[in-house]
Amino acid sequence: MKNIVLTSCGIRNEDFKNRFYEIVSKEDLSNKKVLYITTASDGEREDNRDWIDEEYKTILDLGIKEENITEYKIGNKLDIDSFDIIYVLGGNTIYLLDMVRKYNFGEVIKSALEKGIIYIGSSAGSQIIGTTIELCSIYEDNFVNMTDFTALGIVNGEVVPHANKKKELLKNINGEDLILLYDGDGIII
């Protein structure tokens, strides 16, 4: 599996954009079909939603045409083969993983990756790709009462978005299995 892009808040800075353009040329992006999964944002407070519009703008700033973006909620009917890119927006990671489990969406993601579809995760969308989301159980609302924080395990380690804002939380944690993502940057696997 390849072509996994993990970010804290989308592909924003120019250096990271240029690394992304090594996977898909900027010219080719205008024709790519994007499945924009916004499920995790449904688990967020209503007073904390300005970031969603900013995140959407980062997709357009890559050169993707708005008419090629299809918003999707996990659980709805889907033909994954119609898309070139899966973009999973952030929000409540626990809620997102719960929905992924309920609808066996992890298998959809794995199948898409095997077919060469690019996966872009942002915050919660990045976290569910790792081995666990246990750290987020400390600071996110667990209104679904999750007790097993095992994630999809597509990448080896616990993905920690916004690591630059979690220094206090991370200072007493063994970092061997942590994949730290700082705002504005990310990694490409």
> What are the CA-CA distances from residue 86 to residues 2, 65, 128, 147 (Å)?
13, 15, 14, 27
> What are the CA-CA distances from residue 54 to residues 58, 78, 107 (Å)?
7, 26, 29
pLDDT recorded at residue 173: 75
pTM to 2 decimal places: 0.94
73 is a domain residue = yes
pLDDT recorded at residue 61: 94
183 is a domain residue = yes
Inter-residue contact 85 to 120 (CB < 8 Å): yes
Structural domain of 180: 4-149+163-188
Handedness of CA 43, 46, 51, 56 (dihedral sign): positive
154 is a domain residue = no
156 is a domain residue = no
The count of domains in the chain is 1
Inter-residue contact 121 to 155 (CB < 8 Å): no
Inter-residue contact 127 to 151 (CB < 8 Å): yes
Tens digits of pLDDT across the chain (189 residues): 469 999 999 999 999 999 999 989 999 999 999 999 999 998 876 666 678 888 899 999 999 999 999 999 999 999 999 999 999 999 999 999 999 999 999 999 999 999 999 999 999 999 999 999 999 888 899 999 999 999 999 999 999 999 888 877 777 776 668 999 999 889 999
pLDDT recorded at residue 52: 86
Domain of 116, CATH number, reads: 3.40.50.880
Give the C-alpha separation, 112 to 90, whole Å: 19
31 is a domain residue = yes
pLDDT recorded at residue 43: 81
169 is a domain residue = yes
pLDDT recorded at residue 38: 94
Label the pairing between strands 69-72 and 85-88.
Answer: unpaired
pLDDT recorded at residue 53: 86
Taking the chain, what is the end-to-end CA distance rounded to the nearest angstrom?
9
158 is a domain residue = no
Look-up: residue for tokens 């220094």?
Answer: 167
131 is a domain residue = yes
